[in-house]
Each structure stands twice: as C-alpha cells, then as structure tokens.
Chain A
C-alpha cells in the first residue's frame, strides 16, 4: 500500500513536470537580461518593455481579436442553426449528406482544409473578382468554416438531451414556432451556444495552419507573428509575450473555476430548498 502510494506520487510528479517545466523555464527566461535565449544573464523586465513598445505585436493582437470575434460569432449563428436542424428534423432529403458535410472538417487534416480554402479563394478571385486579395476577409471566412462544426456538434448534442416536451408544451400553450424558439429553445440551449462560441473563439485565436494558407501580405495575426519571429530564433521578447498569454489563460481558468464552484453551491442550496419544500 505504502509502496504503491510512493509510486503513484512519483508518477504524478513526473507528469506535472512534463507539462509545466517547459512553461516555467520559458517564464523564467522571459526575465533574462541576456539577449541569448539559452544563457542566463541576470534578472530583468526589459523585454516586457520592448514588447509593449512593439507596435507590430499590438497590431497583430488586435487583428487576431477582431477575426476571432467576427468568425466565432458568425460560426455560432450558423452552427446553432445547423445543430437545431440536425437534432430536430430527423428526416429530410439529404440529411445524411448534410450531417456528413457539417462534421467532416472535424476530422479533416488542417493542411487539407487550408490548401482547399486557398485554392477556392484564388478561383473565386479569378472568376468573380472577389475576394480581390487574400487577407482579413479570407482568413475570417476560413475560420468560420472550420469552427462552425464545433458549435454544431455542441448545440446538436444539447438539443438531443433536452426534453422535447418542453417545446411542445410551449406550442400547446399558444406559442407559434418562432415564439417557441425565442422563449424556450434558445434559452434552454444557451449554455451550449455560449460554450460553442468560446470554443470557436479559442480555435480562431490560436490557429496557425489554416491562417497561414489563407492570409495575405499585411494581415498578420498573433500566432502567425510569433511563428515567423521564432523562425528567426527565439528571442526573450517572445518569451515575455508567451508569459503574458499564459497569465491571461491562467486567469480565465481561475475565473471559470470560481464560477463553477459558485454554481455548484447554488445548485446545492436549490436541492436543499426542494427537499425542505417536500416536508
């Protein structure tokens, strides 16, 4: 018993080390005074200063955020509609094809999606004259295409687990189909829609491959910027940028954890209320 405990703890230690030592070393080296990424030259915060005064990074971050907000919002609208259709309309012509087409990007290698998007945009440009050049529009369109499927999947599974009778009850009480959608269906699946949006946003924010294929000159998102900078060698300001990203993500996770904890306590209180109401 004691021995297996030690063994488990050791393995756990290794596991955590495997995950976090690289990140920790990156954070430590972002405070490196030396210009060389692998040589410690004393403590300094100057790379953060360099980073903040770097207009290129600020521009790339803004661009990434813009693309992420627009693409995830559009993908959420389209994906929600597709998810509802797939869950509710079990028999329509071409349903299997539609369902396949919607979920195919989920398993398609990103390189393939990237290349095909590129070719498609070039052909469109040749024959229709739009989009004239690759850039903001094409990247956003490509992001919508591949992040929509995640929203669809989440919304569809939520719809399938929801009680169909709730919608029927609303209809029975005098609500027309669009009122049922507004008053009942959308509020009930809203958590799924929100998590779909968050997922689409995250995917768009950190995508390199597909963006690389569909972007043009002057449209550099944050991941692309990091990627191209690293190609020239890891500099401490990249370490500083990565540290800031880790910090942001960490704060988000912490906030989500606190929120979940609170929701759990509220659910516990509701259970007690329901139990007492029974007495």
Chain B
C-alpha cells in the first residue's frame, strides 16, 4: 500500500476545557479533493489550522508525505492555505501578493517572474497585475488568494470556506473553476465548508464532522444515499424520520412505524435484529405522489397540507391520518398552469416508495 499524502492519527485539540477536535483519524490521498463538512464549531477549521501548523494538536500526530509535522513550523510546511477572508496583503499589488511566497525560495529573479506570470494566466488576472487588492472585485480577490497559495507548488492546499464570500452566481462558476484548476495542477485540496452542496459538487470524498468528531467519510453519493446516522442523513439533504421497531427479518425487513400507523418494508441490511428500535428515514425525493389509490407494499394515504412551488420542482407536506407530516419533493416535469397542478392544497393523495429507498438508521 502506498503512503497517503496526509495521515492524521488520533488527533485531538483542546482549548482550555473545550475539546474542539476529538480523536480524529483520516487519510487523504494524493490528488484528491477532500472536504471537511460540518456546522460552525464542529472542529473543521481547527483541524485545518493544525494541518497548516497554526495550532498544535493536544494529542495525536499528523504526517504529510510521510513526515511527522509535530516539530515543523508553518513556514517550513509544504502546505499552503487559502484563508476565508483571503488575507491578501493590502499594501502589495496583485503581482507582489502572488510572488510573496516565492521570495522565500532559492530561485532566480527571472524564474520568479515567470512563475508569477504563469499564475496570473492560470487565474486570468494578467490585466490586473499591478492593481492593489482594494482595486479589484471580490471574485478577483478570491482568485489572487488561490494563485498566491498555488505559486510555490505546495503538496497540499488547504481552502477555508473558499466560496463563502462570493454571491450565488459567482459561486457556481468559481466551483467549476476550482475543480478545473485542481485537475490541471494536480495539487491535493482539503476544503473546509459548511455548505453541503458545495462539498457534494467539489469533492472526491467528504468527511462529515459534528462536535469535534468525524461521523462519516466517503464519496458524496455514498454519504448521501447510505448515511450511517440520523445526523449525517439530516445534515446532507433533508429526511422524513420516524421511530420504528423491527418486526420481521426475511428477504426484506419489516418495521412497524407507529407515526405512520402501518408497517414499512425495507431492503435487507446487516446488523439489525427483530424487536430492535431504530429510525426509519426517507428522503423526500424518493417518494412518489399520486392522485389515485395505488397498489403495493409501501403506500400511505393523506392530504396535502402545505405546498411550496420552486419552479423546477415543488415540495409537498402531506398530513397522514395519524397526524404525522411527510415531505415529498416532486419534479415539475410537465408544464402545468396553477389549476392543473399535480396536487393542490387539501387534495387527497397517495404516497408510494420503493423498499430500497428506506433508510434504517440505528445511530
């Protein structure tokens, strides 16, 4: 097995009595875009700052390219960081900002200038080389910060909420630009973000963090479709979650869901036993909404209580006879006027879903 680029072994960090990071172990491969995803205060930024060397772990070790980083100061690490505030040097031009790191390398003046020009081209800022940071737009500042961090060809680039300061349109565009730059340079990216969509689109793998602990690591699809806990399921996208009890295990699993007033059939999974209490969860987009009664195992009847129309899709909140509310996401595939919509307020509807879509969460 080849050595991963970054190996984090049992790292914890405490600030006084507050434990920001608890026993985190992660391996990040060369060339990956790896995201640390979590809400504020989950420890993702602290972990990033430990990789950069601004904080020392209270416990555990960090290896980058096989070298223990414990005694390596920030200025000697083969790691560069793109700060959330971009942290551009306000008194230097775009050019000088990008070239700042190169000053500390043994490099000819001509080589340095060539590298700066190359970076300016990479982020398409050549016409703005002699501007100061306050003379360019927010999106351009973000690109200067990126170019500055990439100029010294780091083994690892740390990005702290790289897109948080940009507006929505620019963010989408920049996301793809980041991915293409990563592809061209081959540098490993670790991205800290609180935005699940950003993490899903950017990354090869995601680590979902909560209260200093890594809850799940995996490819975006795997984490979204096969969450290992109610927390992860809820953090990535939304779910309908109900308490349930396993009643039978055969080719498929039957669970009794009191809130729905019926038994739900789920695909067989390992690690559950009859009589076990767990959470039955369903993603809103996995449920189909019907205007007429349908046959089959997992069918619920109810009335539309709320309706939110988003244009390309709609969110229905369906009240069941038991009083439970189920959210359903439906794509508005057909063009329809207001009065010929799929379902309207107070309409009687039937909901159906595939046993394979049912999530049984024990955590």
What distance in Å separates the Cβ of A268 from its nearest Cβ neighbour in chain B? 12
Q: Is B74 an interface residue (CB 8 A)?
A: yes
Within 8 A of B (CB), among A218-275: 270, 273-275
Within 8 A of B (CB), among A170-200: 170-176, 179, 183-184, 187-188
What distance in Å separates the Cβ of B39 from its nearest Cβ neighbour in chain A? 21
Q: Is A25 an interface residue (CB 8 A)?
A: no
**Known contacts A173-B104, A174-B105; A274/B137 CB under 8 A:** yes
Q: Is A1 an interface residue (CB 8 A)?
A: no
Q: Is A97 an interface residue (CB 8 A)?
A: no
Contact mask for chain B residues 87-98; partner A; CB cutoff 8 A; 1 contact, 0 none: 111110000000
> Of B75-83, B109-117, B323-331, B333-341, which stretch is located at the interface?
B75-83
CA distance A278 to B85 in the complex (A): 18
Q: Is B317 an interface residue (CB 8 A)?
A: no
* B89 A170 Cβ-Cβ under 8 A: yes
- A173 CB contact (under 8 Å) in B84, B101, B128, B131: B101
Question: Could you say which residues of chain B place their CB within 8 Å of the CB of A173?
Answer: 75, 80, 100-101, 104, 148-149, 152
Chain A residues touching B, range: 20 to 34
Within 8 A of A (CB), among B93-145: 100-101, 103-105, 128, 131-132, 134-140
Q: Looking across the interface, which residue of chain B has its beta carbon closest to that of A276?
A: B137
* A176 B131 Cβ-Cβ under 8 A: no
Number of interface residues of B (CB under 8 A): 36
* B81 A270 Cβ-Cβ under 8 A: no
* B75 A172 Cβ-Cβ under 8 A: yes
Q: Is A124 an interface residue (CB 8 A)?
A: no
**Known contacts A174-B101, A174-B105; A274/B136 CB under 8 A:** yes
Q: Is B52 an interface residue (CB 8 A)?
A: yes
Q: Is B345 an interface residue (CB 8 A)?
A: no
What distance in Å separates the Cβ of B217 from its nearest Cβ neighbour in chain A? 26
**Known contacts A273-B131, A277-B136; A174/B75 CB under 8 A:** yes
Question: Could you say which residues of chain A place their CB within 8 Å of the CB of B75?
Answer: 171-176
CA distance A277 to B136 in the complex (A): 6
Q: Is A206 an interface residue (CB 8 A)?
A: no
Q: Is B54 an interface residue (CB 8 A)?
A: yes
Within 8 A of A (CB), among B32-58: 52-54
**Known contacts A174-B101, A174-B152, A175-B75; A277/B137 CB under 8 A:** yes
CA distance A188 to B52 in the complex (A): 23
**Known contacts A169-B83, A170-B100, A172-B80; A188/B91 CB under 8 A:** yes
Q: Looking across the interface, which residue of chain A has its beta carbon closest to that of B132?
A: A270
Question: Could you say which residues of chain B place their CB within 8 Å of the CB of A101?
Answer: none
**Known contacts A169-B81, A173-B104, A277-B136; A184/B89 CB under 8 A:** yes
Binding site for B on A (CB under 8 A): 163, 165-166, 168-176, 179, 183-184, 187-188, 270, 273-275, 277-278
